[in-house]
């Protein structure tokens, strides 16, 4: 259907010269032989003819034209000086041509209107008279003198100055010969609304290859949204969609949808346009538009096409008749929650799936990146919630609890997961036959094993303890993490094919080989790679007296022993706690130890911390849980000694502290208060002040603080085949971070075993919620964050869980709070749903360079948003609509299937239409938008027809200027529509209705009218992004932001840049017939250019005097086009200008230190003589 992937039109090398390759061919009239008779004249002493135009009375009415002629007629070189009535007219030109012949004139000064108006006319006249067209100077006596000054001496004197300066300057002119460059026979049309469609079809019909660039996924523009078109009441879609299909099927048109112009190089006839092909994530050629993806997409955001009155999914097609008829995915960057997740969980995706009650899919999606959903759903420090953009509105989405809900659902619905869920993660068989040893079965070891097994590797896990799971199992107490969840999630992994688990099998990392023990050395011999994930299972000690006493534990050891008892593992003595327990430390382990001690029967548990609560590294919510359970906090105290009484602990002596200056971590450093100590009676002391690697001397390198040293990106150790990650590398961190490093380590191992580059393409940096471009909902559901239920502190005396989790209703309600800020949630459901495999979520923008000879801008308009006019209450009162919204209501394919009804579904009984909303208004748009009167009349007709409601139009003037428009106005009046002449002043609510206040200027009195519905006839503004497009294409815009035409009357489709044309509403507001006319006119102008074999390039460009050039290269630096380069000439470097690239701006000329560059037609001498004459001549007069 579409030709998006069609090869670019082959460019005939003959037609498109390489820079510097351009031919310097003179036009027939400019060929040297034609000048032979005049050659001598051109080079001889200047013989100047001066012609002062009266322009009827335009100039002569203000400037004393005869006096000007008289004043300059005696100037040197002036042979003839005359005035004409109209110099631009045939007789005017003829008289000059006769003078040229009779008086052998070789230079001409015309003093008339702006050179921007008629310079071309007189150049052509000189050419016809055999004089080089560049031996002309135009003095602007109309726009710059007569039209802005009143008649008088000063005005005439100014005219004399300008003419005199032109005479001096023209004497210094040299004949110039424009370069001729072949034209690339192709055009680009920017914008695929009706204007762009029309222009493309016209050009294509004439045989020109056309590239139609449309930034939306479909062409059609605003016209596709309309219901009927005035005044004929044609169905808009019926007349537009056939044209859209023509575009798609025309062999000469290449449709580049979902694309934007990125950059423009080149010049008239020879443009090089760089087009950004935005990632669509759906292969246009493969997509069959079957709609299966839409059925599974969980994201609903307002449809732009329906003006927000209906929703669409993130994978979408703007409307049913879209061209190309293919879907696209709306992505607004990576969701901040996903970006923040160290494990890369598709957070927005699983939240969106939960919101739809699709719990199995949600669990499967979490499982893709997080092997422990239930564990992570309980103990994660959830950086995703910190980044959640809902937090800017009220509170973040409870992502962690939602993940827990999905995991709990999976736990209670095993029948839904008949196949082991982790198996689907099978990515390939890269590692078939490879054997990897994994030391440690903690979260990192299990993650690595799962990732590698998914690539068909054989993994053997060696675990020193009699249980798997590492710190998840032995470090976290049951009231935080139930054992049955752990068991399930660990089993899900170790039961995978390809994974073998050896419990109670310690591996020595020591370099010396001990024949009886399993060693790293042996594993390296037996396996292709080894992964070390041994965690940090040794508690740090303070080194104070009494630390070795009975009744003193390290926090890690204490929790491990308690967990062993719960796992029915008999290993060493079970910890006993006394009545009074002190826990030293401020981290999460300290909190867990304290709450565990309380559950073991301690009557009074105190946490002793050397700083204050603000500096505690433990999570806030955990500190609160502990406080709720009656755990005491003793801040600013540091143990000095554990005191024994009869061999067991009796007290702890602490140093009182105060906070000093911040340390390197930013926390205030505690300092001892000399002499201030306190002794607290205690029966048990648990030291929870940090963890260490549980290995002393190891074979691989260690870094700071004894952790294993690895490459921070690849996790490779000092031995190429040994990788390490997790707590053993980073020190204790949370499970989600450990899983993240596990994924990266597993990928490195995969690459290592496949012989690939380890570092290639690794992602650097993360996006955050500050990243621009996120979808910003206009309104959001204000439901507050769901509260998770938990057991009261008083009941929490066992190791059952504190938190009870969400109910299904709560989970769905909470998930619905997600703002879908990245639009597509990347739940990947569409990938599975797509039968033809057209969807690729990893697609990226690509760039394509296209060579064209002409460009037509047809970027269209936007409907003005009347929200700023608070008096009308748009966006506040639901029954206030804009005209385009009513178009959608009236359209049979719209949200109400063509019924014009209120939000409650009922037909209105009386409707007010307010004209000129924001238009003809100095506070908003000063201009008339031209379409609003007529569409208001059309809407009035449609409302009468469909609802029989009374319609009242509040208008200032009715502008029914087009063919059949006045008749339509007449018809609507006869249909019973009421017209009140006066602008609507205000809309206010009253009871169930709205009241329109206005002044009836015919009656000369204020009126108030209760209505059911108010329609605001808003005008049009330049389309969003028009400013950016103007900058990229170097074209100018008018004061209202519309593209500026070269001349308001005579060149309405030319921009100020040669070869770039304007079509439709991008230039000014206009209705459909005028837009189509304008577009065809632009196409005709472009055709005029493209049908010429060559285009003449202005000869007013830079040239280097190589003798004077010192080769300083300043010109090279300032030139925006790279025209000058340094080249060798007779042994030294001098600047050379590539004439094909030079645009004649003169930057290099003004910058040249040695005055070695001249700008033809604007040389220093010419301009200096002009300055001198302007000033001296007039002073002489005085």
Partner 1 sequence: MSESFEPKIVGFLCNWCSYAGADLAGTSRMSYPQNVRIIRVPCSGRVDPLFVVKTLIDGADGVMVLGCHPGDCHYQQGNYIAQRRYSIMHRLLEFSGLETDRLFVDWVSASEGKKFSEVVTSFTEKVRNIGPNPLRKKAESGIDVLEEVSS
Binding residues (CB under 8 A) for partner 1: these are 114-117, 140, 142-144, 147-150, 154-155, 157-158, 161-162, 165, 1030-1031, 1034, 1036-1039, 1044, 1056-1057, 1100, 1118, 1120, 1143-1147, 1149-1151, 1159, 1162, 1164, 1167-1168, 1170-1172, 1174-1176, 1178-1179
CB of 1024 to partner 1, least distance (A): 17
CB of 918 to partner 1, least distance (A): 20
Quickly list H helices, 104-193: 115-128, 153-170
Using CA atoms, how far apart are residues 353 and 359, in angstroms rounded to an integer?
7
CB of 1085 to partner 1, least distance (A): 19
The smaller minimum CB distance to partner 1, of residues 137 and 202, is found at 137
> Is residue 149 within 8 Å of 94, Cβ to Cβ?
no
Neighbouring C-beta atoms of residue 211, cutoff 10 Å: 24
The smaller minimum CB distance to partner 1, of residues 678 and 1175, is found at 1175
Up-side HSE of residue 835: CA atoms within 13 Å toward CB?
6
DSSP-derived secondary structure for 540-556: -----TTTTSBTEEEHH
The smaller minimum CB distance to partner 1, of residues 526 and 1027, is found at 1027
CB of 1060 to partner 1, least distance (A): 11
CB of 540 to partner 1, least distance (A): 60
Using CA atoms, how far apart are residues 330 and 190, in angstroms rounded to an integer?
21
Q: Output b/e per residue, 221-244; b: 16+ Cβ within 10 A.
A: bbbbbbbbbbbeeeebbeebbebb
Using CA atoms, how far apart are residues 1039 and 1041, in angstroms rounded to an integer?
6
CB of 779 to partner 1, least distance (A): 35
CB of 1113 to partner 1, least distance (A): 16
Three-state DSSP at 849 gives strand
The smaller minimum CB distance to partner 1, of residues 150 and 697, is found at 150
Using CA atoms, how far apart are residues 9 and 31, in angstroms rounded to an integer?
34
Dihedral (CA of 401, 443, 555, 655) sign:
negative
CB of 1175 to partner 1, least distance (A): 4
- The DSSP secondary-structure symbol of 581 reads E
CB of 242 to partner 1, least distance (A): 38
- The DSSP secondary-structure symbol of 906 reads P
CB of 24 to partner 1, least distance (A): 21
CB of 89 to partner 1, least distance (A): 20
The smaller minimum CB distance to partner 1, of residues 142 and 277, is found at 142
The smaller minimum CB distance to partner 1, of residues 162 and 1134, is found at 162
Dihedral (CA of 620, 625, 626, 632) sign:
positive
DSSP-derived secondary structure for 1059-1125: TEEE-GGGTS---HHHHHHHHHHHHHHHHHHHTSSEEEEPS--EEE-TTT-----HHHHH-TT--EE
The smaller minimum CB distance to partner 1, of residues 94 and 1165, is found at 1165
The smaller minimum CB distance to partner 1, of residues 213 and 1147, is found at 1147
CB of 326 to partner 1, least distance (A): 36
The smaller minimum CB distance to partner 1, of residues 1132 and 1155, is found at 1155
The tokens for 350 are: 């699983």
The smaller minimum CB distance to partner 1, of residues 147 and 803, is found at 147
CB of 1047 to partner 1, least distance (A): 10
The tokens for 200 are: 């493309």
CB of 61 to partner 1, least distance (A): 12
Closest CA to 677 of 713, 629, 640, 722: 640
- The DSSP secondary-structure symbol of 290 reads -
Beta strands across the sheet bearing 854-857 = 253-256, 210-213, 187-190, 854-857, 1060-1062
At which residue do the structure tokens 């900058």 appear?
1031
As a whole number of Å, the end-to-end CA separation of the chain is 76
Torsion, CA 325, CA 328, CA 330, CA 334, rounded to 10: -170
**Nearest 5°: CA angle at 1084, between 1078 and 1088?**
145
The tokens for 530 are: 């080894």
CB of 144 to partner 1, least distance (A): 6
The smaller minimum CB distance to partner 1, of residues 34 and 1100, is found at 1100
Using CA atoms, how far apart are residues 611 and 658, in angstroms rounded to an integer?
7
CB of 1044 to partner 1, least distance (A): 6
The smaller minimum CB distance to partner 1, of residues 893 and 1100, is found at 1100
The tokens for 147 are: 């039209």
Neighbouring C-beta atoms of residue 307, cutoff 10 Å: 20
The smaller minimum CB distance to partner 1, of residues 12 and 1181, is found at 1181
> Is residue 735 within 8 Å of 375, Cβ to Cβ?
yes
The smaller minimum CB distance to partner 1, of residues 172 and 544, is found at 172
- The DSSP secondary-structure symbol of 24 reads -
The smaller minimum CB distance to partner 1, of residues 1019 and 1146, is found at 1146
Three-state DSSP at 386 gives helix
The tokens for 167 are: 């005479």
The smaller minimum CB distance to partner 1, of residues 650 and 1055, is found at 1055
> Is residue 1061 within 8 Å of 855, Cβ to Cβ?
yes
Using CA atoms, how far apart are residues 630 and 914, in angstroms rounded to an integer?
67
Quickly list H helices, 88-152: 90-103, 115-128
The smaller minimum CB distance to partner 1, of residues 500 and 1034, is found at 1034
- Residue 148 makes CB contacts below 8 A (sequence gap 6+) with none
Query: In terms of DSSP bridges, do strands 978-981 and 1060-1062 run parallel, antiparallel, or are they unpaired?
Result: unpaired
- Residue 1049 makes CB contacts below 8 A (sequence gap 6+) with none
The smaller minimum CB distance to partner 1, of residues 308 and 1041, is found at 1041
CB of 72 to partner 1, least distance (A): 15
CB of 68 to partner 1, least distance (A): 14
- Residue 636 makes CB contacts below 8 A (sequence gap 6+) with 609, 610, 611, 612, 656, 657, 658, 659, 670
CA 1073, distance to chain mean position in Å, is 35
């Amino acid at each position: 259907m579409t030709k998006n992937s069609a090869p670019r039109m082959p460019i005939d090398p003959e037609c498109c010269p390489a820079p510097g390759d351009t031919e310097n061919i003179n036009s027939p009239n400019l060929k040297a032989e034609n000048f032979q008779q005049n050659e001598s004249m051109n080079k001889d002493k200047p013989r100047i003819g001066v012609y002062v135009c009266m322009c009827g009375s335009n100039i002569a009415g203000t400037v004393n034209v005869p006096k000007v002629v008289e004043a300059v007629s005696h100037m040197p070189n002036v042979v003839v000086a005359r005035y004409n009535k109209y110099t631009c007219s045939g007789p005017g030109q003829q008289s000059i041509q006769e003078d040229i012949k009779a008086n052998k004139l070789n230079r001409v000064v015309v003093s008339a209107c702006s050179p921007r108006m008629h310079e071309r006319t007189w150049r052509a006249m000189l050419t016809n008279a055999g004089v080089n067209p560049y031996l002309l100077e135009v003095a602007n006596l109309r726009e710059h003198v007569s039209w802005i000054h009143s008649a008088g001496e000063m005005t005439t004197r100014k005219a004399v100055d300008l003419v005199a300066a032109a005479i001096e300057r023209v004497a210094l002119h040299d004949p110039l010969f424009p370069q001729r460059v072949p034209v690339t026979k192709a055009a680009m049309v920017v914008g695929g609304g009706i204007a762009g469609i029309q222009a493309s079809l016209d050009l294509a019909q004439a045989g020109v290859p056309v590239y139609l660039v449309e930034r939306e996924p479909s062409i059609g523009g605003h016209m596709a949204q309309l219901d009927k078109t005035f005044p004929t009441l044609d169905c808009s879609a019926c007349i537009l969609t056939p044209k859209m299909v023509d575009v798609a099927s025309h062999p000469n048109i290449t449709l580049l949808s979902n694309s934007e112009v990125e950059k423009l190089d080149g010049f008239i006839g020879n443009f090089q346009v760089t087009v950004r092909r935005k990632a669509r994530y759906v292969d246009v050629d493969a997509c069959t538009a079957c709609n299966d993806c839409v059925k599974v997409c969980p994201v609903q955001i307002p449809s732009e096409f329906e003006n927000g009155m209906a929703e669409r999914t993130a994978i979408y097609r703007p409307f049913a008749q879209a061209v190309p008829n293919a879907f696209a995915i709306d992505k607004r960057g990576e969701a901040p929650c996903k970006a923040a997740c160290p494990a890369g969980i598709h957070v927005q995706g699983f939240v969106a799936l939960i919101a739809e009650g699709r719990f199995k899919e949600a669990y499967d999606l979490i499982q893709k990146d997080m092997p422990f959903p239930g564990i992570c759903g309980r103990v994660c420090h959830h950086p995703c919630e910190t980044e959640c953009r809902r937090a800017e509105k009220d509170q973040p989405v409870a992502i962690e609890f939602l993940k827990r809900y999905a995991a709990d659902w999976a736990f209670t619905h095993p029948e839904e997961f008949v196949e082991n869920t982790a198996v689907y993660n099978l990515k390939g068989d890269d590692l078939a036959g490879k054997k990897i040893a994994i030391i440690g079965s903690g979260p990192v070891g299990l993650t690595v094993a799962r990732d590698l097994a998914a690539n068909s590797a054989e993994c053997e896990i060696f675990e020193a303890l009699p249980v798997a799971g590492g710190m998840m199992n032995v470090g976290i107490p049951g009231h935080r993490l139930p054992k049955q969840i752990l068991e399930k999630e660990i089993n899900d992994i170790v039961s995978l094919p390809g994974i073998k688990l050896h419990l109670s099998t310690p591996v020595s990392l020591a370099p010396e080989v001990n024949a009886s023990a399993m060693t790293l050395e042996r594993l390296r011999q037996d396996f292709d790679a080894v992964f070390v994930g041994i965690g940090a299972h040794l508690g740090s000690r303070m080194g104070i007296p009494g630390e070795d006493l009975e009744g003193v534990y390290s926090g890690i050891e204490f929790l491990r022993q308690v967990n062993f008892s719960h796992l029915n593992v008999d290993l060493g003595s079970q910890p006993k706690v006394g009545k009074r327990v002190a826990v030293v430390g401020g981290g999460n382990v300290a909190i867990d130890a304290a709450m565990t001690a309380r559950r073991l029967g301690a009557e009074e548990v105190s946490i002793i911390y050397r700083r204050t609560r603000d500096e505690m590294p433990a999570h806030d919510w955990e500190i609160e849980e502990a406080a709720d359970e009656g755990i005491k906090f003793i801040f600013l105290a540091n143990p000095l000694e554990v005191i024994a009484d009869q061999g067991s602990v009796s007290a702890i002596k602490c140093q009182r502290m105060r906070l000093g200056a911040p340390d390197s971590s930013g926390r205030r450093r505690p300092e001892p208060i000399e002499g201030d100590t306190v002794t607290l009676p205690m029966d048990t002391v648990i030291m929870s002040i940090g963890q260490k690697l549980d290995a002393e001397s190891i074979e691989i390198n260690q870094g700071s603080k004894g952790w294993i040293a690895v490459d921070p990106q690849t996790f490779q150790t000092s031995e190429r085949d040994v990788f390490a990650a997790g707590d053993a590398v980073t020190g204790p961190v949370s499970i989600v971070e450990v899983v993240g490093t596990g994924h990266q380590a597993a990928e490195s191992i995969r690459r290592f075993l496949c012989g690939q580059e380890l570092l290639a393409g690794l992602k650097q940096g993360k996006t955050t919620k500050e990243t621009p471009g996120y979808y910003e909902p206009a309104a959001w559901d204000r439901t507050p964050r769901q509260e998770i239920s938990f057991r009261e502190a008083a009941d929490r005396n066992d190791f059952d869980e504190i938190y009870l989790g969400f109910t299904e209703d709560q989970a769905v309600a909470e998930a619905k709070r997600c703002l879908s800020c990245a639009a597509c949630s990347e739940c990947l459901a569409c990938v599975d749903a797509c039968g033809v495999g057209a969807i690729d979520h990893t697609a990226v923008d690509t760039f394509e360079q296209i060579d064209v000879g002409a460009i037509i801008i047809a970027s269209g308009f936007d409907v003005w948003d009347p929200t700023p006019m608070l008096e009308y209450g748009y966006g506040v009162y639901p029954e206030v609509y804009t005209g385009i919204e009513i178009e959608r209501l009236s359209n049979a394919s719209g949200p109400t299937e063509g019924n014009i009804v209120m939000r409650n579904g009922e037909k209105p009984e009386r409707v007010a239409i307010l004209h000129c909303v924001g238009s003809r208004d100095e506070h908003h748009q000063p201009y008339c938008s031209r379409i609003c009167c007529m569409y208001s009349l059309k809407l009035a007709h449609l409302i009468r027809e469909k609802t029989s409601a009374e319609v009242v139009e509040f208008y200032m003037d009715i502008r029914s200027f087009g063919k059949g428009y006045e008749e339509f106005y007449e018809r609507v009046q006869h249909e019973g529509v009421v017209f009140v002449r006066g602008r609507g002043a205000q809309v206010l609510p009253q009871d169930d209705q709205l009241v329109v206040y206005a002044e009836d200027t015919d009656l000369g009195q204020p009126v108030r009218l209760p209505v059911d519905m108010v329609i605001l006839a808003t005008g049009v503004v330049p389309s969003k992004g028009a400013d950016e497009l103007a900058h990229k294409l170097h074209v100018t815009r008018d004061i209202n932001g519309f593209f500026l035409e070269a001349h308001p009357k005579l060149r309405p489709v030319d921009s100020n840049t040669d070869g770039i044309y304007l079509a439709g509403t991008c230039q000014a507001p206009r209705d459909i017939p005028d837009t189509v006319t304008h577009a065809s006119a632009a196409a005709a102008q472009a055709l005029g250019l493209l049908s010429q074999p060559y285009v003449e390039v202005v000869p007013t460009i830079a040239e280097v005097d190589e003798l004077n050039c010192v080769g300083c290269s300043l010109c090279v630096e300032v030139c925006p086009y790279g025209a000058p380069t340094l080249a060798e000439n007779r042994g030294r470097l001098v600047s050379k200008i590539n004439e094909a690239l030079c645009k004649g701006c003169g930057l290099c000329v003004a910058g040249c230190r040695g005055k070695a560059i001249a700008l033809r037609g604007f040389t220093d001498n010419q301009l200096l003589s002009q300055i001198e004459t302007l000033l001296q001549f007039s002073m002489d007069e005085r």
